[in-house]
Amino acid sequence: MKYSRDRIGSPGGRVLYGSTPTIIITLFILMATRLSLSRSAHFCFKHTCPLSRPFTSKNLLQCRICPLWSSSFSLCLHTFRKSTSPNNHPSKSVTVRSFCPSPVSISDSYFKMSIASDDNPLLKDFEFPPFNVIEAKHVRPGIRALLKQAEEDLEVLEKTVEPTWPKLVEPLEKIIDRLTVVWGAVNHLKSVKDNPELRSAIEEVQPEKVAFYLKLGQSKPIYNAFKAIRESPDWDSLSDARKRIVESQIKEAVLSGIALEDDKREQFNKIEQELAKLSQKFEENVLDSTKKFEKLITDKKDIDGLPATALGLAAQTAVSKGHEKATAEDGPWIITLDAPSYMSVMQHAKNRTLREEVYRAYINRASSGDLDNTEIINQILKLRLEKAKLLGYSNYAQVSMAMKMATVEKAEELLEKLRSASWDPAVKDLEDLKDFCKSQGSPEADDLNHWDITFWSERLRESKYELNEEELRPYFSLPRVMNGLFNLVNMLFGINVEPADGLAPVWNNDVRFYRVNDSSGSPIAYFYFDPYSRPSEKRGGAWMDEVVSRSRVLSRDGANARLPVAHMVCNQMPPVGDKPSLMTFREVETVFHEFGHALQHMLTKQDEGLVAGIRGVEWDAVELPSQFMENWCYHRDTLMGIAKHYETGETLPEDIYQKLLAAKTFRAGTLSLRQLRFATVDLELHAKYVPGGSESIYCVDRRVSKRTQVLPPLPDDKFLASFSHIFAGGYAAGYYSYKWAEVLSADAFSAFEDVGLENEKAVKETGQRFRETVLALGGGKAPLEVSLFSCSLEAGNLLLNHCLGIMAYCQLPPLHEIITETSAIVVPHFKGH
């Protein structure tokens, strides 16, 4: 499951897409973070991260996913030559291996699908998904062929199933895996290389895929077999991981409508089909409305204040739109709603009219005309409520919480504790901003509006801390940031990350491919990294997703588990001219965040595929590794290893590092309230809102905002129309998870602080503990049982200092009271007490 610190738009990051039915197979969870999770910097473009829901095409943890085979598999290999010459990489000829795996008991034809179509890459056996050759024309025949085979194999399993691992769980995982991998690859391309033909193909076959997953989730022979395992005398002898799988599959079956009969089941299935369609349309409308806005500027006075990087990007965009002679110096320039462009305007444009126009366009995306998501939201909420009542729940929030650690009441309690703690600091934030504006002689000082806040906040930060975010960019070039990140995880977890470009096909020349090796040099995982914004074809935000999971059952040689593969996607500023991608500090945090999700997926040692890595991890806890990794951005040795001027190699001056630390909680009360607004309106809509009643969705948001926003939103603010996390991702009645997991991640990082961050030996030892527990055990244990760290006062201090900035405004005693109260809400409940 960023960036937004709000984690919204992808809001996080990490995000699972879609509302394809819950299925018995937790395998289908693809994180978020998507743990789209998309991330936004103070706005809603975030991440998205997958989690404990069944794996479905939509469950892309963005915090999402698709599989692959380990290079250690000893099978008959066919090789062919392929030339690739990605940008910034030397052209080279690489060998791509195609496996002819050995027979599997459930169905030989499962692995011989390539016979069906020699020219359809979706039906060939592959080591890594052939992203470079998959086209829309392959989707319909490919998915239908896979569905047909899966249907046949499911029918065989239902006739032969027995309540044993070899006769139930193992064949079930094999049946679903190929479809999971291929559907994941296709949906991933839709997120990063969208086009009308691909959309149409997916839209046409999605109902058939949903129907199959419904049939699987409602299979009584499989459900009864899982119940028989739980009730058998051998239950106590099962491993914790296997017990978790059985319990999870039984719960998922209930949530998939296993107990419904006749008309109610038919109604339930229709709802699931419609929800899948609506969620897909919602996300498409957000993308299209974001792409639709373009502001052509020809007079440089209109964009006074924009830094050179932003001008270069705006000119580069203009060139791509047909203005061939556009330059950063002379224009013309095109402003878009894509994160790098939008944020540059909001932070730096002196033209208040331009800021207002761009801000209004952003908060009203997908809220009018053919791209209006308002009625789609109404239908989604109506159908979710109907679904909840069919399942015997009072509201959809209860359905969502059924697979989480929290309850609706506990989540609301936590949010209110944090809201009350954040309110006074946020009020002071606004007062300080107004005072600063007056001191600068600003004509809008007495009438600050939303399009002024970010601009003047940046000026205040520059004045207070002598920090200019744009002037820091040259110290954060993408290559150095990635090298620093890899050095950090080598020190913490004993792994080595090395480039492996050319080993796997990619969907864009800017995509990098990496291999993760253990201390002996043996590969243990792989991942793709797609860093740059491409507004014409790529979804906004940032996310991590699964390409393939670790699995013993899907071993190709019968001895070594299949290795996990992930992809990380961001939307940062691309290279401009001959300069590398120069990052803001927020973008650095975003990369660390998403890599935290990827680490939990890649460093798992869990061989039970249905709970390996991020699979089976309760949604409330899935953000733990990602938020944990963000803390290292402020670690001196880590930051100094990253922050070197891209031209001179000069290290970031010590005084600037100290200013970064001092500015860490700048306006934290305001930023915390923003995220609390998102979490609270999410719960309101899914726990209390009555679709079709006297109150509209936008009225609900305005009501919530009275308690969560010091500066009320505009009357025409319709940000809900682009709130993909809860309407096209996996965060419905779950956005609170970002705050819930912050308590846990703060606790984990405090363990490193306790041993001394400068004590490398102790830090390494603690890092190994973290790897062997949080990262290695995946969903095979309950989250708190996985962690060696128990929530403490220090953890609470870190949480509130990091997220709320309370220490800047409050006396210590009230802070301790807040810490005690929030920890008391999260941790005991987390333990299942």
357 is catalytic: no
Give the amino acid at 244: R
DSSP letter, residue 561: P
Kindly give, in sequence order, each residue whose CB lies less than 8 Å from that of residue 833, ignoring residues fewer than 6 positions away.
none
Structure token pair of residue 57: 């095409």
Distance CA 736, CA 745 (A): 15
Catalytic residue among 127, 458, 594, 608: 594
Beta carbons of 558 and 624 less than 8 angstroms apart = no
Structure token pair of residue 391: 């399942």
DSSP letter, residue 520: T
Instruction: Tell me the C-alpha to C-alpha distance, in Å, between residue 687 and each of 276, 396, 409, 467.
Output: 21, 6, 10, 43
Helix (H) / strand (E) containing 526: strand 523-532
**Secondary structure (H, E, C), 567-616:** EEEEEECCCECCECCECCHHHHHHHHHHHHHHHHHHCCCCCCHHHCCCCC
Kindly give, in sequence order, each residue whose CB lies less than 8 Å from that of residue 385, ignoring residues fewer than 6 positions away.
395, 396, 691
Instruction: Tell me the C-alpha to C-alpha distance, in Å, between residue 3 and each of 8, 15, 458, 510, 592.
Output: 8, 13, 17, 20, 11
DSSP, collapsed to helix, strand or coil, labels residue 23 as: coil
Chain-centre distance for alpha carbon 605? 22
Helix (H) / strand (E) containing 544: strand 543-548
Beta carbons of 531 and 510 less than 8 angstroms apart = yes
**Secondary structure (H, E, C), 422-472:** HHHHHHHHHHHHHHHHHHCCCCCHHHCCHHHHHHHHHHHHHHHHCCCHHHH
Pairing of strands 496-499, 13-15: unpaired
DSSP letter, residue 248: H
User: Is the torsion defined by CA of 612, 613, 615, 619 positive or negative?
Assistant: positive
Chain-centre distance for alpha carbon 162? 37
Beta carbons of 399 and 393 less than 8 angstroms apart = yes
CB-hemisphere CA count at 13 Å for 175? 25
User: Is the torsion defined by CA of 721, 727, 730, 731 positive or negative?
Assistant: positive
For residue 693, count other CB atoms closer than 10 A to its CB.
Answer: 8
Distance CA 144, CA 142 (A): 5
Structure token pair of residue 810: 């409050």
* Catalytic sites, residue numbers: 594
